[in-house]
């Protein structure tokens, strides 16, 4: 696997952890989850900046945000008991399909 995909996965994972910590911070009223938000987002942006050396910003951001949305929806379901209705699940499926189309068929991403 090329290093830029590993960096992108790390960026998505860090963003996902940061957003989960944001929920746990209770609007930045709890110290350690608030610190985790800042550190996770900083790490996410750092690793995303590495990916931007080899991939276009629009493609990177689409993959980063799309995977983040899907992962946060899953975490919300598992950790916070947040239910999704059928239209929400269909939308998440379309996001995944869009990411696959970009990855599998676009010449904008190095493979």
Domain ranges of the chain: 3-105
The pair of three-digit structure tokens given for residue 43, joined into one six-digit string: 């790490």
Residue 95 CB contacts under 8 Å (≥ 6 apart), including other chains: 66, 69, 70
Residue 38 CB contacts under 8 Å (≥ 6 apart), including other chains: none
pTM of the model: 0.90
pLDDT band per the 50, 70, 90 thresholds, residue 111: low
99 compared with 109, residue with greater pLDDT: 99
pLDDT band of 108, cuts 50, 70, 90: confident
Which pLDDT score, from 0 to 100, does residue 110 have?
74
């Amino acid at each position: 696997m090329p290093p830029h995909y590993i960096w992108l996965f790390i960026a998505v994972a860090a963003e996902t952890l940061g957003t989960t910590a944001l929920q746990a911070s209770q609007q930045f009223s709890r110290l350690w989850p608030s610190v985790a938000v800042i550190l996770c987002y900083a790490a996410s942006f750092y690793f995303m900046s590495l990916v931007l050396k080899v991939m276009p910003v629009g493609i990177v951001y689409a993959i980063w945000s799309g995977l983040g949305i899907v992962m946060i929806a899953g975490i919300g379901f598992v950790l916070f008991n947040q239910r999704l209705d059928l239209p929400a699940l269909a939308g998440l499926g379309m996001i995944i399909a869009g990411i696959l189309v970009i990855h599998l068929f676009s010449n904008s991403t190095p493979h």
